[in-house]
């Protein structure tokens, strides 16, 4: 998602301007490497008039990086808040020299001044201390920019909702207004029976290509009865038409019992294929689960996994996440690949059958609180080199912290039983996004 980023280096000419200008030069170079399109002045903004003029000539920023190049009182920060209500990254520079002589920048005191103003104005912001050439500074700036991109993507997101959640799955349901208030996304509905009817009405030429594509990525489809493959292809075509027509990038779909009882073919492989193609798809009509998957996909550019925590192994300090037949093909172990099977309870296919690959993972969940506000579950760990543990798809995650305590706390804290997982460590990005969305991030 394209965003507008503005860099505001502020300072007072009464400080050591030679040091300040050298810091500005290095800061501009660093920012250009991280985000080439950043808008920035050629010189330090040393007066309110200079700052105000520059602000009025930038195009609605999605992020402002406010750097105390030298000490500045809080009037500068107040002017920024007066003109724009967007996320702010406050950046303090390290003193270039400590030699018993003059305090050259006094940047840190300026940050306290701005931070105090933001606090009293109830303005949430991000903060980083350090010089432009420091790795931690570069990582933080990059993470904040990425979080702002994801925040904007969420605000433009359309979530497709097929049918309703199964009886008793209260956590899967979502109100349009709640979703809009939480992340800015909107919902687009279709009944499960309408999707099924559209699938049944298709001509063979409309769906045979989807069956051929599935043969290229899924092993064992030749063991699935032709009638079920035909129905899978029809469903895939119907779902594809729905998401393309409505501009959907995340999907929450009903699965059981309708697609077994009314259609005699599961929707699992359809959700797998959509997720692989970039339209993250959660089963059991879990809207917030789908949004959680979308967040992870936007940060990493790779498919997210959707599963239940079903097993705890205290000896391995590991939690198994599982679901009964969906999962993007690229997540499968390399030694087995993605295989087709039948649903473990209904004995109808095609479904997905594999254990997930090993690697560093991040697990999250966007959850609704009783007061209508939202929070984000966050844990990190290592997906272990473990075979498929149950029929369906599964991944064993060795947690960074005590797995037993994570399970105990997650249950007693009232988290929903669906979680989203992605490969890569994006813990800091999730924390920043939570701050931008004004949500509590609970790290386990």
d(CA 244, CA 11): 50
Shared domain check, 266 and 190: yes
pLDDT at position 43 = 97
Shared domain check, 236 and 367: yes
Shared domain check, 104 and 203: no
Domain boundary among 155, 170, 197: 155
Domain boundary among 134, 155, 176: 155
Phi, psi of 50 (to 5 degrees): -65, -45
pLDDT at position 413 = 98
Taking residues 279-307, what's their average pLDDT? 98
pLDDT at position 320 = 98
Domain count of the chain?
Answer: 2
Shared domain check, 203 and 89: no
Shared domain check, 150 and 81: yes
For the cut 90, the answer to whether the pLDDT of residue 404 exceeds it is yes
- Is the alpha carbon torsion for 400, 401, 404, 409 positive or negative? negative
Shared domain check, 369 and 303: yes
Shared domain check, 22 and 35: yes
Shared domain check, 99 and 177: no
Which residues, 6 or more positions from 92, have their beta carbon under 8 angstroms from its beta carbon?
67, 68, 107, 108, 110, 111, 127, 128, 129, 130
Q: How confident is the model at residue 104 (pLDDT cuts 50, 70, 90)?
A: very high
Shared domain check, 9 and 117: yes
**pLDDT 10s digits, 25-80:** 999 999 999 999 999 999 999 999 999 999 999 999 999 999 999 999 999 999 99
Burial (CB < 10 A; 0-12, 13-18, 19+), residue 90, is buried
Shared domain check, 355 and 259: yes
Residue 329's nearest CA partner among 210, 217, 209 is 217
For the cut 90, the answer to whether the pLDDT of residue 392 exceeds it is yes
Phi, psi of 309 (to 5 degrees): -80, 115
* Residue 283 structure tokens: 């089963």
Which residues, 6 or more positions from 264, have their beta carbon under 8 angstroms from its beta carbon?
228, 231, 348
Taking residues 318-331, what's their average pLDDT? 96
Q: Which CATH number does the domain housing residue 90 bear?
A: 3.40.50.10940
**pLDDT 10s digits, 335-374:** 999 999 999 999 999 999 999 999 999 999 999 999 999 9
Taking residues 378-404, what's their average pLDDT? 97
Which residues, 6 or more positions from 201, have their beta carbon under 8 angstroms from its beta carbon?
none
Q: How confident is the model at residue 1 (pLDDT cuts 50, 70, 90)?
A: confident
SS3 for the chain is CCCCEEEEEECCCCCCHHHHHHHHHHHHHHHHHHCCCCECCCCCECCHHHHHHHHHCCCCCCEEEEEECCCCCCHHHHHHHHHCCCCEEEEECCCCCCCCCCCCCCHHHHHHHHHHHHHHCCCCCEEEECCCCCHHHHHHHHHHHHHHHHHHHHHCCEEEEECCCCCCCHHHCCCHHHHHHHHCCEEEEECHHHHHHHHHHCCHHHCHHHHHHHHHHCECHHHCCHHHHHHHHHHHHHHHHHHHHHCCCEEEECCCCHHHHCCCCCCHHHHHHHHHHCCEEECCCCHHHHHHHHHHHHHHCCCCEEEEEEEEECCCCEEEEEECCCCCHHHECCCCCCEEECCCCCCCCCEEEEEECCEEEEEEEEEECCCCCEEEEEEEEEECCCCCCCCCEEEEEEECCCHHHHHHHHHHCCCCCCEEEEECCCHHHHHHHHHHCCCEEEEC
Q: Are strands 158-162 and 126-129 parallel, antiparallel or unpaired?
A: unpaired
Instruction: Give the residue numbers spanning the domain of 433.
Output: 158-443
Phi, psi of 190 (to 5 degrees): -150, 145
Residues paired with residue 187 on neighbouring β-strands, in sequence order? 159
Shared domain check, 23 and 11: yes
Residue 169's nearest CA partner among 294, 80, 256, 41 is 256
Q: How confident is the model at residue 87 (pLDDT cuts 50, 70, 90)?
A: very high
Q: How confident is the model at residue 18 (pLDDT cuts 50, 70, 90)?
A: very high
Residue 69's nearest CA partner among 117, 112, 21, 101 is 21
For the cut 90, the answer to whether the pLDDT of residue 192 exceeds it is yes
- Check if the beta carbon of residue 77 is closer than 8 Å to that of residue 118: yes
Taking residues 285-303, what's their average pLDDT? 98
pLDDT at position 168 = 93
Q: Which CATH number does the domain housing residue 264 bear?
A: 3.20.14
For the cut 90, the answer to whether the pLDDT of residue 215 exceeds it is yes
d(CA 431, CA 144): 10
Shared domain check, 240 and 130: no
Q: How confident is the model at residue 234 (pLDDT cuts 50, 70, 90)?
A: very high
Domain boundary among 110, 128, 155: 155
């Amino acid at each position: 998602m394209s965003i507008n980023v503005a860099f505001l280096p502020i300072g007072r000419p009464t400080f050591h301007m030679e040091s300040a200008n050298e810091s500005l030069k290095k800061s501009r170079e660093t920012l250009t490497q991280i985000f080439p399109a950043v808008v920035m002045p050629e010189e330090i903004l040393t007066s309110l008039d200079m700052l105000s003029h520059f602000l009025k000539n930038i195009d609605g920023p999605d992020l402002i990086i406010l750097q105390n190049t030298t000490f500045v009182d809080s009037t500068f920060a107040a002017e920024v808040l007066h003109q724009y209500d967007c996320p702010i990254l406050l950046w303090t520079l390290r003193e270039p020299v400590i030699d018993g002589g003059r305090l050259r920048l006094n940047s840190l005191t300026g940050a306290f001044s701005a931070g105090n103003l933001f606090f009293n104005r109830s303005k949430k912001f991000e903060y980083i201390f350090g010089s432009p050439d420091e790795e931690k500074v570069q990582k933080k700036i990059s993470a904040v920019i990425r979080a702002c991109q994801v925040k904007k993507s969420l605000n433009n997101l359309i979530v497709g909702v097929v049918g309703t959640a199964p009886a008793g799955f209260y956590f899967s349901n979502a109100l349009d207004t709640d979703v809009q208030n939480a992340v800015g996304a909107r919902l687009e509905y279709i009944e499960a029976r309408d999707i099924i009817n559209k699938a049944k009405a298709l001509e063979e030429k409309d769906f045979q290509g989807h069956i051929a594509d599935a043969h290229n990525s899924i092993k064992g489809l030749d063991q699935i009865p032709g009638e079920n493959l035909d129905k899978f292809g029809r469903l895939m075509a119907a779902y594809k038409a729905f998401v393309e027509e409505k501009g959907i990038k995340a999907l929450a779909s009903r699965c059981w019992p309708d697609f077994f009882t009314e259609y005699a073919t599961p929707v699992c492989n359809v959700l797998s294929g959509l997720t692989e193609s970039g339209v993250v798809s959660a089963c059991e009509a879990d809207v917030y689960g789908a949004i959680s998957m979308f967040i992870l996909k936007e940060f990493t550019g790779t498919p997210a996994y959707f599963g239940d925590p079903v097993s705890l192994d205290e000896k391995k300090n590991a939690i198994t996440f599982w679901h009964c037949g969906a999962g993007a093909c690229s997540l499968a172990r390399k030694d087995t690949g993605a295989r087709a099977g039948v649903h473990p309870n209904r004995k109808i296919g095609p479904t997905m059958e594999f254990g997930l690959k090993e690697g560093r993972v991040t697990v999250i969940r966007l959850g609704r609180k009783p007061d209508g506000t939202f929070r984000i579950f966050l844990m990190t760990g290592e997906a272990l080199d473990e075979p498929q543990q149950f029929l369906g798809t599964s991944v064993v995650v060795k947690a960074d912290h005590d797995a037993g305590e994570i399970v105990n706390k997650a249950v007693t804290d009232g988290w929903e039983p669906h979680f989203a997982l992605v490969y890569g460590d994006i813990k800091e990005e999730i924390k920043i996004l939570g701050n931008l969305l004004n949500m509590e991030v609970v790290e386990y």
